[in-house]
Amino acid sequence: MKELKISLAAARVNAGFTQAEVAEKMGVTANTVVNWEKGNATPSVIVARQLANLYGLELNNIFFPKEANLICGAEE
């Protein structure tokens, strides 16, 4: 679960989105995005696919961040 939260935040930052922008595009609250990134909640597979598309990544790159070489920036 730790790798998933790190890769979600890193993917978002690398794609140039804020948490608020992702929330708006996904039709969820910013708090939901925060919870996904902190590991307090896990997006469904369907939502994870949508996030991957939004971030321009393959779904595997979110679930296996070491292979994606994502570097997490500072949290908002």
Parse the chain into domains and list their residue ranges.
2-68
pLDDT reported for residue 6: 55
Q: For 51-75, what is each residue's pLDDT tens digit?
A: 999 999 888 877 766 654 544 544 4
Correct CATH for 2-68 of 1.10.260.40, 3.40.50.300, 1.10.132.10, 2.30.29.30: 1.10.260.40
- Give me the helices (H) in the chain, please: 2-15, 19-26, 30-38, 45-55, 59-63, 65-68
60: its two tokens: 């595997």
Q: For 1-39, what is each residue's pLDDT tens digit?
A: 445 555 888 889 999 999 999 999 999 999 999 999 988
pLDDT reported for residue 44: 92
56: its two tokens: 């321009």
Q: pTM score, two decimals? A: 0.76
Distance CA 51, CA 5 (A): 13
